[in-house]
Amino acid sequence: MSDSKDKDSILGQAGPLLDSGQTIQSVGDKVTSVIFRKKQPIPWFVVLGIASMLLGSLTLSVVWLLMKGTGVWGLNIPNAWGFAIVNFVWWIGIGHAGTLISAILFLFKQQWRTSINRFAEAMTLFAVACAGMFPLLHLGRPWVFYWLFPYPSTMGVWPQFRSPLVWDVFAVSTYLTVSVIFWYTGLIPDLATMRDRAKNKVGKIVAGIFAMGWRGSARHWHRYEVAYLLLAGLSTPLVVSVHSVVSLDFAVSIMPGWHTTIFPPYFVAGAIYSGFAMVLTLMIPVRSIYGLKSIVTMRTIDNMAKIMLATGLMVFYGYLNEIFFAWYSGNKYESFMMLNRMTGPYALQYWMLILCNGIIPQLLWFRKVRQNVISLFIISIIVNIGMWLERYIIVVTSLHRDFIPSSWDNYAGTIWDWGLYIGTIGFFLFAMMLFIRWVPMIPIFEIREIIHAKTKKTLGTEKKP
């Protein structure tokens, strides 16, 4: 990597921030202005309104489900896993980009990540929350969800630790906890900035409580930086493990199409792919509505598109690999499954998936496409759809044609499946809107650090000759 060149061009594009001596100040102004402005922009209200309506759909679907049981979903035997698992994997995959951006790119010292990491981490939290709803509701009796955890119950029963479904409980709950910790740690200094800038008393007190009395002491910063680095180092293997464990829910079974060793890496790549797509879907409108284009520069957007392209190619390789091994294994169930996937009742969804995830994203090879936010926005939505279809295809095509033809049955989601699914999208958008409104969505102190390093560097070089 052309490191020094890269860094310069990021900061070159951040242009106006570096013009005057006011720069460190101006970042704070810009980011906190989103929170302290008197009125949020109209699009914020529009999205919040739509999200609230979708939340209604969530409530209704959950209440109906609790009243009637999982029979209101389109599940049957052999399709015992339907939308619930599809949506679970889809959401948790989306969450992975946040951790990737904040932890892995931090370890690689990719400075362009700084402007989007807080936002992407918030996205992680809400996506994981959405993901968690599905397995819980799929339990049928979600109010006894705590049976999943190992605790000394009066029944004398303990979880079965040889099951990937129990691994999932640990992986997802650890992931959520560590993501919250990482996100909050990153927020503390910015909350102190908010506390010191708040104009009214309530804002000062609330931000003050959450800032926990942060005062920017050099001793504190030292421990803080060590803690942040360690958390990044811990989150990196964690994020890989979480989606690997999710993929083991499938791979450990003996279903044709699921029982493959490529699943863990292929799922992780897919997770990053869909997550970057979601960050782009959200960030492209947000940066233009809130005038943050000078902080979230085209450089960042372009890099995200490149990562999307790279992970998209890995995912596409996964698809090809599945086809190859269905043939090469010589297993008739595997090859039947693959042929049925391509030509059977779900052929349309399969080819849509190849189009959305494999073909269209090839446009990202072109610089013009990556530099055009509208085309990127559209591609990111297409990828989101494609990734949802991928999980749908994986779950349904393997299940609906079982080993015994007498048990074959087709699957389709009912209105309650769809109601719950779009309901979680509403929950996600609602939470994102509240986040944008109340929390600094760009890490102020980290951006300041970059600007500061840059200004010192240019001053240094000016002095030298």
Partner 1 sequence: MSADKKIYGLVAEFNDSDLLIKAAEQTQEAGYTKTDAYTPFPVHGLTEALGIKRTILPWIVLTGGILGCLGGFYLQYWVSVEAYPLNVGGRPFNSWPSFIPVTFECTILGAALSAIIGMLSLNGLPQPYHSIFNTPNFERASNDGFFLCIEEQDPKFDKKQTRRLLEDLGAVSVSEVES
CB burial of 273-288 (b: ≥16 within 10 Å; e: otherwise) equals bbbbbbbbbbbbebbe
Q: How far is the CB of 184 from partner 1 (least distance, A)?
A: 8
**Stretch near partner 1 under the rule CB under 8 A, chosen from 49-57, 215-223, 366-374, 403-411:** 215-223
At residue 77, the 3 state secondary structure works out as coil
Q: How far is the CB of 221 from partner 1 (least distance, A)?
A: 4
Choosing from 227, 320, 339, 412, the residue that interacts with partner 1 (CB under 8 A) is: 227
Rg (C-alpha) for the chain, rounded Å, is: 24
**For partner 1, what does the binding mask look like between residues 159 and 178, x meaning CB under 8 A?**
xxxx-x-xx--xx--x--xx
Q: How far is the CB of 251 from partner 1 (least distance, A)?
A: 12
Task: Supply the angle between the helices 83-99 and 373-400 in degrees, to the nearest 10.
Answer: 140
Choosing from 81, 90, 224, 427, the residue that interacts with partner 1 (CB under 8 A) is: 224
CB-count exposure of residue 381 (10 Å: 0-12, 13-18, 19+): middle
Considering only residues 12 to 31 of the shown chain, the ones binding partner 1 according to CB under 8 A are: 24-25, 28
Choosing from 85, 248, 279, 396, the residue that interacts with partner 1 (CB under 8 A) is: 248
**Stretch near partner 1 under the rule CB under 8 A, chosen from 115-123, 190-198, 255-263, 300-308:** 190-198
Q: How far is the CB of 166 from partner 1 (least distance, A)?
A: 7
Indicate the residue among 219 and 332 with the shorter CB distance to partner 1: 219
Dump the DSSP string for 219-279: HHHHHHHHHHHHHHHHHHHHHHHHHHHHHHHHHTS--TTT--TTHHHHHHHHHHHHHHHHH
Size of the site for partner 1 (CB under 8 A): 62
Dump the DSSP string for 129-154: HHHHHHHHHHTS-GGGGGGGS----T
**Stretch near partner 1 under the rule CB under 8 A, chosen from 56-64, 116-124, 230-238, 367-375:** 230-238
Residue 181 interacts with partner 1 (CB under 8 A)? yes
Distance CA 409, CA 242 (A): 31
Nearest to 32 by CA among 386, 292, 400: 292
**Stretch near partner 1 under the rule CB under 8 A, chosen from 11-19, 110-118, 392-400, 447-455:** 447-455
Distance CA 35, CA 252 (A): 47
Instruction: Name the residue type at position 299.
Output: R
Q: Which residues bind partner 1 (CB under 8 A)?
A: 24-25, 28, 150, 156-162, 164, 166-167, 170-171, 174, 177-178, 181-182, 184-185, 189, 192-193, 195-197, 208, 212-227, 230-231, 234-235, 237-238, 241, 245, 248, 445-446, 448-449, 452-453, 456
